[in-house]
Amino acid sequence: MSEQLEQSQTLNNLMRAFAGESMAQTRYLLAADEAQKQNYAAIARLFRFTAEQERQHAKVFSGFIAGAAGENTDITAGFPSEFPADIQQLLEAAANGERSEADIVYPDFARIAREEGFTDIADRFAMIGQIEETHRKRFAYYAGLMSSGMLLRSESTEERWICLNCGHIHTGSEPPKNCPVCGVPQGWRVREAEADFTFSGLV
Ligand SMILES: [Fe+2]
Ligand SMILES: [Fe+2]
């Protein structure tokens, strides 16, 4: 199989995918740094959460590439070149990148791998493409909350906001400007149901 992979378009696509995932990871870590700097700690956490997943995608691809062996290969691909400082724009740019991976790049790579007879690789491309769609939805959701002014505001006076620094929960339509327990700014808050390991009604 490895010899066959060496001659294939799929090997080139695996390398493009590895490069794309590696860059996505770095872009999201840089976005997380920027969000943290601007005290949007919850958004920073979203970028780090997603960056780790991109790293794992790169690892899956590197496993297939390692089985094929060898020489350096030239690849070409289009990668986003914008690094906005505005957090809403960062989220929108991330959602756009995910859209092209989910809708075009991975479905194409999966189709070619299937045509070339690499069923397992085709399945991984397809499944990772589906993951990118969940990334797109998540980034778009938070970009939408920001653009509508609802990132830190709710229609409900019963909304539960958790402080991602100390765990304090505030109930109301808006979290306090600073946490009454640990003092961190509002951007550390997220709806409790959207925080890790919390379930509505659990506490
Ligand atoms: Fe990915
Ligand atoms: Fe992604």
Q: Pick the ligand that lies closest to the CA of residue 61.
A: 1
Q: Report CA(114)–ligand 2 centroid distance (Å).
A: 22
pLDDT at 200: 58
What residue type is assigned to position 133 of the chain? E
Please report where in the chains the tokens 């957090």 appear, as a residue: 87
How many angstroms does the Cα of residue 50 sit away from the middle of ligand 2?
A: 7
C-alpha–C-alpha distance, residues 140 and 136, integer Å = 6
> What pLDDT does 43 receive?
97
CATH value of 153-203 in 2.40.10.10, 3.40.120.10, 2.20.28.10, 2.60.110.10? 2.20.28.10
Q: Point out which residues pair with 162 in neighbouring strands.
A: 169, 190
CB 166: neighbour CB atoms within 10 A?
Answer: 13
46 CA distance to ligand 1 centroid (A)?
14
CATH 2.20.28.10-classified regions of the chain: 153-203
Model confidence pLDDT, tens digit, residues 9-52:
999 999 999 999 999 999 999 999 999 999 999 999 999 999 99
pLDDT, position 3? 59
Higher pLDDT, 3 or 92: 92
- Which structure tokens are listed for 197? 């390991």
How many whole angstroms from 170 Cα to the centroid of ligand 2? 32
Residues 173-200 pLDDT 10s? 999 999 999 999 999 999 999 998 876 5
Contact criterion met (CB below 8 Å) for 187 and 176? no
pLDDT tens per residue, range 54-110: 999 999 999 999 978 677 878 888 888 888 899 999 999 999 999 999 999 999 999
Give the other-Cβ count within 10 Å of 58's Cβ.
Answer: 19
Render pLDDT for 129-163 as a digit per residue (tens, 0 to 9).
Answer: 999 999 999 999 999 999 999 999 999 999 999 99
Confidence of residue 170 (pLDDT cuts 50, 70, 90): very high
What contacts 111, CB < 8 A, 6 or more positions away? 122
Mean pLDDT of all residues belonging to the chain: 93
The enclosing H or E element of 171 equals strand 169-171
Delimit the CATH 1.20.1260.10 region(s) of the chain: 2-147
**Interval between CA 78 and ligand 2 midpoint (Å):** 16
Class (C level, CATH) for 2-147: mainly alpha
- Residue closest to 152 by CA, chosen among 43, 49, 50, 45: 43
The percentage of the chain sitting over the pLDDT mark of 70, rounded to a whole number, equals: 95
Query: 87, 40 in Cβ contact below 8 A?
Result: yes
